Amino acid sequence: MTELVRKVSKGAANNNALINDINTTHKLVIALLAAGASSRFEGIKLAEPIDVINTIGQVKRQPLLLHSLDKLQAVAKQLESTSLHCEVVVVLGAHQALMALIPAGVRVITNSQWQRGLSSSIKTAVTTAKQLNADALMVTLADHIGVDQDAYRLIIKRWLLERKTCCACYQHSIGVPAIFNVDLFNQLQRLTGDKGAKPLLKQLASQDELTIVEVPGIAVDIDQREDVVVWQQAIKQQLS
């Protein structure tokens, strides 16, 4: 865990400038999925205060959900300097109490069928992306603490350059964050169960229709309370 935290905090070298030269009229909806019950955590894990070292080396303590949201909003703000229109939306479900944490002005949508697994949240996000006439949808997870701004920017950059569905690869496994073009929205809405979009990503990879971005370190997520303890210890070690 410590080594992963170290890699994440350093980020991808020179990646801050990767999207500055993009000139496109695409609209990207970034969905932050936060609808799960977090039953293994025995509490509302996305409301759990957690420490993260920010981009200027300071420790920032706030609920897990806000860490994830802040990173995505920072990336979206940087994209304002390009002609790519980007909107972050938050998908809630089991814990509507999280609504109180979300700043005013952020679009929040409710997955009323969150019990059906991760695929139901993706479907909810796709519906909103269609309503917003998006060219693509980026799927991200609110408990995926190991993803930093550089990783998000790198994935978006590769999507813009290659115009294919694009996803992260870590620990020899593909997964989210992932960006799906509009022509895949209907397939996303046919997903079932709690595996999310991974079956579709594997299918696209087998057809050579997927851009895979190696992003070391981002496999760190928060699942159980012990994960918070390990993460916090790693942060302390990094600062010592």
Q: How many domains does the chain have?
A: 1
- Residue 170, pLDDT > 50, answer yes
Q: Give the amino acid at 162.
A: E
Alpha helices in the chain (DSSP H): 2-10, 64-79, 118-131, 149-162, 185-188, 198-206, 225-239
The winner for highest mean pLDDT among 4-8, 135-139, 220-224 is: 135-139
What are 117-163's pLDDT values in tens digits? 999 999 999 999 999 999 999 999 999 998 999 999 999 999 999 98
Instruction: Assign residue 198 a region (left: φ > 0; alpha: ψ between -120 and 50; beta: otherwise).
Output: alpha
The candidate with the shortest Cα–Cα distance to 95, out of 75, 111, 116, is 111
By residue range, what is the domain housing residue 83?
A: 2-239
> Following DSSP, what letter does each residue of 139-202 receive, concatenated?
EEETT-TT--HHHHHHHHHHHHHH-SEEEEEETTEEEEEEEEEGGGHHHHTT--SSSTTHHHHH
Rounded Cα distance between 125 and 130, Å, is: 9
CATH of the domain at 174: 3.90.550.10
What are 58-110's pLDDT values in tens digits? 888 999 999 999 999 999 999 887 778 999 999 999 999 999 999 999 999 99
